A and B are shown apart, each in its own frame.
Chain A
């Protein structure tokens, strides 16, 4: 039975279980009526339904995720003897062949009879697996329904039990956030450790040369592959610095204007328009940077007698800066609005003009919050991917010239992992090491920023 049909059957069974539980509770209540039950009859139904569906679905999930590995091992074990001394990597290739033939993705006439037989075997095992899963899952569902039917009893606290199950579900959902963080840390950490076995961590952190091409042939140029990430760090910082150079003044001044000068009407027009900038997907900014801004800068540079690369840190940084403007302005807007009115009134009563009040009272008072917002914006700029992938270039040059092409940590992660299938080369592992760096740096920035912002808010609350 295909998985989707099985799901439908379980759904049907669940509905039946609900009904059975409901009827059963009314039945056991007998002549004394449903008032003699511990809970409303519907809770008996719900409890039965939950016991029918949840364990069955869990078993199904585990079965599906485990089945492929089990079947693959069985198929490999069945292969003729000359396959048994192959390396694991070769076996993976053989297995891929088998799966492709089984899935009829390719009609590979050259593959040997042994492989074809194995594909047959694979298919039959898969059929057996699915069939036995259906049997197990459905009998589990029915068994548990029957069990519940049996134990329903006027003194059974169905509501409490049902609510407990729901509460456990709520609890588990909230743990997902922690699980995600742990998953991120573990996935980048493990691969990074493997990477640091191949490339010493000092070379990665302080090396000045980045050329991750691992040679296919020994005599190829740049055969060794160098993993010094400093050019990437410099490139990332350069692009982020340009972005912040654009975003901080524009974002901060817009926030000041919107919160201190603009009347209600102007505010209701400008604020949503700034938010539109925040809602545009980064890939669109990337297209704009690559197809409009970069050529424009190049032409402009030519007319000034400057040599601007067609992919430049400047183009990427400028566009990224504009992207971050709404981010800076909305965070600054929040903190400026949180400054108590009494501070403003005090400054006005001393005869300060509005701009003097803003510059000498409000900004200093809001400074921690603004700094926190800027830190968040920097972490955003460092982690931004699409704009730099499309507009900053790939060449890992150690330069501070914004007119040249630079590359960033995120660009290298993308180029190292897109299209590459081999998973244990230093090249792909390097991407995870870069990911680890990115995660650690942005996490540190976020923690500091959130801490600063929170402290600031507490100060005025």
Chain B
């Protein structure tokens, strides 16, 4: 009896003694949980922060003001009446002359060459456009803001460490002297980088933009939307409302679930083998990209649409059938309108995923260097995420800023699509 009592006591004691340790373990465990969430969030902040801060300079670019003389002789224009006189003129010579005039001391050949590299090759196009728009400028002198070369732009943005020894710098001491003199005279300005939004890809960072990539993404997504939404909704309706429950529909279900988890690059292989090699559709075209992304997003759309149809209560169907609607009328006139917001939400989320998808587009050749904005769904084009990938590979440092800026644009699109989905859900969400 007494031994039993001591045992009970000792158990209680044991428990009491262990309590401190156990509570400490409890606190530790809780801390681990919080810490792992924080690790993930800190990572998210670093990711977004690093991209954001890298991107900021890319939205600005430097221009250099020069007194350009549109001298017919320097331009090599002999016959003004000739239709292509302004197209074939030598604008490069005009810029060079203007630079020589601004810096008369520069004499040696190598120094001259360095001086000429101050202005981007885009300057000639700028002058050509000017002269074609206003032919009366010929043989006059105009003060023109010309796009600076990307290295020069980097200097003005403080990207170049002047304290480094000259031999390790991309910008040499004599260049710095010229640039500082330009700056002191107010012949340097920084402006919003419209080129980034209005131009296509380019080998020169200061002339590169995302317009052709954005257009390509838009066309691709348009095809994806036009195909995946009706097909996905139709498949969901069939599976939820009409399909008999048998092995066949089980197979379809398993298939859809598995397709949702197949790596995206495999869809790219499918696109390459089937759409390009078998059906002979053009490589690099938005039509193929759209088809591949359709197959990829279809499972998402189907799964979301089915969930949405399931949430429509059976009483709606019974009421419709009760007043004599056919099965098809019940679905099309009553179930579908009620399920539509949920279906749209799922589709938008699928579209957002498709917009960020890169790997399958690499497979079907949408990685080409595209300057022109694609005009139609059969034109060669690229897409925004692919453009980001391409720029990351480029050696010029300024491209990493462009990469980050393009990512910002991509993320903006994604955020607005997701917001739209959330708003749709809020507005139409219905509890039965």
Contacts and interface: CB of A to CB of B under 8 A. Distances in A.
Given A187-B274, A450-B257, A280 B47 contact: yes
A349 interface: no
A68 B265 contact: no
A181 B259 contact: yes
B34 A257 contact: yes
A337 to B, nearest CB: 15
B22 A410 contact: no
Contacts of B171: none
A413 B269 contact: yes
Interface in A403-456: 410, 413-414, 417-419, 423, 431-432, 435, 438-439, 442-443, 446-447, 450
A310 to B, nearest CB: 13
Nearest to A68: B280
Contact of B267 (A166, A184, A291, A450): A184
B242 A183 contact: no
A290 B327 CA distance: 56
B256 to A, nearest CB: 5
Contacts of B386: 283
Contacts, number: 255
B36 A286 contact: no
B38 to A, nearest CB: 9
A283 B358 contact: yes
B29 interface: yes
B85 interface: no
B356 interface: yes
Interface string B393-425: 000000010011001001100100010000000
B8 interface: no
A274 B37 contact: yes
A384 interface: yes
Given A280-B47, A351-B15, A386-B359, A432 B256 contact: no
A258 B36 CA distance: 11
Contact of B258 (A254, A279, A325, A446): A446
Contacts of B50: 288, 292
A177 B259 contact: yes
B47 A288 contact: yes
Interface string B3-38: 000000000000100000011011011101111110
B51 A288 contact: yes
A188 B40 contact: no
Contacts of A432: 269, 273
A287 B326 contact: no
Consensus secondary structure, chain A interface: helix
B312 interface: no
B99 interface: no
Interface in A135-182: 159, 163, 166-167, 169-171, 173-178, 180-181
A177 B299 contact: yes
A384 B263 contact: yes
A11 interface: no
A286 B30 CA distance: 32
Nearest to B356: A281
B261 interface: yes
A302 interface: no
B270 A176 contact: no
A71 to B, nearest CB: 12
A30 to B, nearest CB: 25
B235 A176 contact: yes
A287 B37 contact: no
B237 interface: yes
Given A283-B385, A284-B51, A184 B252 contact: no
A162 to B, nearest CB: 8
Contacts of B32: 253
B379 to A, nearest CB: 12
B138 interface: no
A177 B255 contact: yes
13 contacts: A174-B234, A174-B235, A250-B39, A257-B30, A280-B414, A287-B392, A291-B403, A326-B40, A353-B23, A385-B362, A413-B269, A435-B265, A442-B261
Given A180-B255, A281-B356, A292-B46, 18 more contacts: A65-B280, A173-B231, A173-B234, A177-B235, A177-B259, A181-B255, A181-B258, A183-B270, A183-B295, A184-B267, A188-B266, A190-B273, A282-B359, A283-B388, A383-B266, A384-B263, A414-B265, A450-B258
Interface of A: 65, 68-69, 159, 163, 166-167, 169-171, 173-178, 180-181, 183-184, 187-188, 190-191, 249-251, 253-254, 256-258, 260-261, 270, 273-274, 276-277, 279-288, 290-292, 322, 325-326, 351, 353-356, 358-359, 376, 379-380, 382-386, 389-390, 410, 413-414, 417-419, 423, 431-432, 435, 438-439, 442-443, 446-447, 450
